[in-house]
Amino acid sequence: MSTTPIISFRDAAKVFPGSRKRPEVRAVDGVTLDIEAGEIFGVIGYSGAGKSTLVRLINALEKTTSGSVVVGGQDLTALGESQLREVRAGIGMIFQQFNLLSSRTVAGNVAYPLEVAKWPREKREARVRELLEFVGIADKAGSYPSQLSGGQKQRVGIARALATNPRILLADEATSALDPETTREVLRLLQRVNRELGITVVIITHEMDVVRYACHRVAVMEHGKVVEVGDAYAIFSGPTAPVTRRFVATSLRDRPSAETLARLRERHPGRLVVVGIDEVTGSTHAISQVLRDAGVEPAIIYGGITEVADKPYGSLTFELTGSDDDVAAAIERLREVTGVDDLGTADAPVSAPAETTTDPTAGRSGPPRTRVVGAQDYGMLGGQGGRLAGPDRLVIEEDD
Ligand SMILES: Nc1ncnc2c1ncn2[C@@H]1O[C@H](COP(=O)(O)OP(=O)(O)OP(=O)(O)O)[C@@H](O)[C@H]1O
């Protein structure tokens, strides 16, 4: 992957002015961020964090109040409307509600941007065929949107967004209205768009599972600011901002919550430890070996191992039974192999680390909103919906 930024924010801010009834809103508040050419970049945050506004600065559907946004080497703040149109032509966008034209067939929807760009009919028809093949719905060319499933509609949306060969594809909550299986199909298609066509993909989401499954890097937004940015794996394995910890906890659910831990202690009076499984540990081999050598009796009582950015990640909670000295020695040895949280025993408990006790829904704010935007959005509407359960996990749960 190249390391040339294709999108650069420098201290970018977007302030919506207030009125007598409403205070002003700093929707994007001093963001400095580089998105590299050729990556799949996630922007995650709870409702109202400023994700959509940030992304709408990329295609100049919104203008910065201060700071700059540079796309493909061009400073958008310095461009006139006709130049901005050219920049927008190099950016495709897909939406949560698909925004297809209901009176047109699938082929007609995909052809629409080509008609606007005045492609001749023959070239247009060949391009539409090629696109429908690529997204896997060539057999639906003559169907109308109302005859399609959500996943098929989003495939049409993707084909339409790719029609004029953009360098960047913006996906604004593009899977939020889809079930988990369809979500993964659409994310797989976006990965093909990225890999096979070399298109930079920016995914806005409020679901950490989407980041886990599809993104190379991710920025976490809160109150208009980017509070954390990095490789998806690094963010999962070492989240620093409290909001990031909440997101990671919602996605992995591998560590017992405070309530679960209380129940586990009732049933398991021995020493409880949470043992990290990561890229370095690779598997439970080293952990099993340490426990065998230490002569303690391990029982797995909670946990989950999944993949983040194609690498193993998760944790297992063990109850270790044996003499106090043997258990203490086992924990010391485990610490040499991986991260360990010692939760103590039912009689002498140690508090769980913050991320195991945080309410994952805390921090959500504001009702879903509806928004009507410019013609290049094909009548896009915002809003919330859909949940992703993340079914590709081995999860060992005693309760919850
Ligand atoms: N046109 C506008 N006028 C006034 N305030 C706005 C406008 N657009 C967005 N906002 C406000 O800016 C803040 C950020 O909104 P934005 O839609 O960017 O957040 P978001 O993270 O995308 O949330 P959601 O996932 O709910 O769409 C919110 O407080 C919102 O109410």
Class of domain 7-250: alpha beta
d(CA 351, CA 255): 13
* 192: its two tokens: 């093909």
- pLDDT at residue 357, as a whole number: 33
Lowest model confidence (mean pLDDT) among 34-43, 233-242, 383-392: 383-392
Query: DSSP string spanning 353-376?
Result: PHHHHS-TTTT--S--------GG
- pLDDT at residue 35, as a whole number: 98
Residue with tokens 């060319």: 141
Domain boundaries, the chain: 7-250, 253-343
Query: DSSP string spanning 12-52?
Result: EEEEE---SSS--EEEEEEEEEEEETT-EEEEE--TTSSHH
Q: Which of the two residues, 369 and 314, has the higher pLDDT score?
A: 314
Residue 154 banded pLDDT, cuts 50, 70, 90: very high
Amino acid at 215: C
pLDDT above 60 (res 355): no
- Which residues in 65-199 belong to E strands, given as ranges? 66-71, 74-75, 91-95, 168-172
- pLDDT at residue 352, as a whole number: 61
Chain-centre distance for alpha carbon 375: 27
Asked if residue 64 has its Cβ within 6 Å of ligand 1, the reply is no
Asked if residue 15 has its Cβ within 6 Å of ligand 1, the reply is no
- pLDDT at residue 7, as a whole number: 97
Overall average pLDDT of the 351-369 stretch: 38
- Global pTM reads 0.79
Question: Is residue 298 helix, strand or coil?
Answer: strand
pLDDT above 50 (res 381): no
Q: Which of 9, 53, 243 to mutate to test the pocket of ligand 1 (most atoms within 8 A of CB)?
A: 53
Amino acid at 316: L
Asked if residue 30 has its Cβ within 6 Å of ligand 1, the reply is no
- pLDDT at residue 351, as a whole number: 74
DSSP state of 102: T
pLDDT above 80 (res 163): yes
* 261: its two tokens: 């831990």
Q: Which of 9, 51, 97, 373 to mutate to test the pocket of ligand 1 (most atoms within 8 A of CB)?
A: 51
- pLDDT at residue 254, as a whole number: 83
- pLDDT at residue 282, as a whole number: 55
* 26: its two tokens: 């700093």
Do the beta carbons of residue 66 and residue 11 sit within 8 Å?
yes
The mean predicted confidence, pLDDT, of the chain is 84
pLDDT above 80 (res 394): no
Q: Please report the ipTM that was assigned to this predicted complex.
A: 0.96
Q: How far is CA 267 from CA 254, 272, 302, in A?
A: 19, 11, 12
Asked if residue 5 has its Cβ within 6 Å of ligand 1, the reply is no
Overall residue count recorded for the chain in this entry: 400
Residue 223 banded pLDDT, cuts 50, 70, 90: very high
- pLDDT at residue 273, as a whole number: 93
Do the beta carbons of residue 326 and residue 295 sit within 8 Å?
yes
Asked if residue 61 has its Cβ within 6 Å of ligand 1, the reply is no
Tens digit of pLDDT for each residue in 27-85?
Answer: 999 999 999 999 999 999 999 999 999 999 999 999 999 999 999 999 999 999 999 98
Question: Is residue 147 helix, strand or coil?
Answer: helix
DSSP state of 103: T
pLDDT above 50 (res 160): yes
pLDDT above 90 (res 386): no
- pLDDT at residue 26, as a whole number: 96
Asked if residue 45 has its Cβ within 6 Å of ligand 1, the reply is yes
Asked if residue 390 has its Cβ within 6 Å of ligand 1, the reply is no
Residue 364 banded pLDDT, cuts 50, 70, 90: very low
Overall average pLDDT of the 328-352 stretch: 88
d(CA 283, CA 286): 7
- Architecture of the domain spanning 253-343: 2-Layer Sandwich (3.30)
pLDDT above 80 (res 86): yes
Kindly report the CA angle at 395 between 393 and 397, in degrees rounded to 5? 160
- pLDDT at residue 281, as a whole number: 62
Tens digit of pLDDT for each residue in 244-303?
Answer: 988 887 887 888 888 899 999 999 999 999 988 877 665 567 888 888 898 999 999 999
Return the residue whose CA atom lies nearest to atom 4 of ligand 1.
16
pLDDT above 70 (res 308): yes
d(CA 192, CA 286): 36
Alpha helix stretches (DSSP H) within the chain: 51-58, 81-89, 106-116, 121-135, 150-162, 180-197, 208-214, 232-237, 242-252, 258-267, 285-294, 324-337, 354-357
Phi, psi of 14 (to 5 degrees): -130, 115
d(CA 176, CA 45): 13
- pLDDT at residue 30, as a whole number: 96
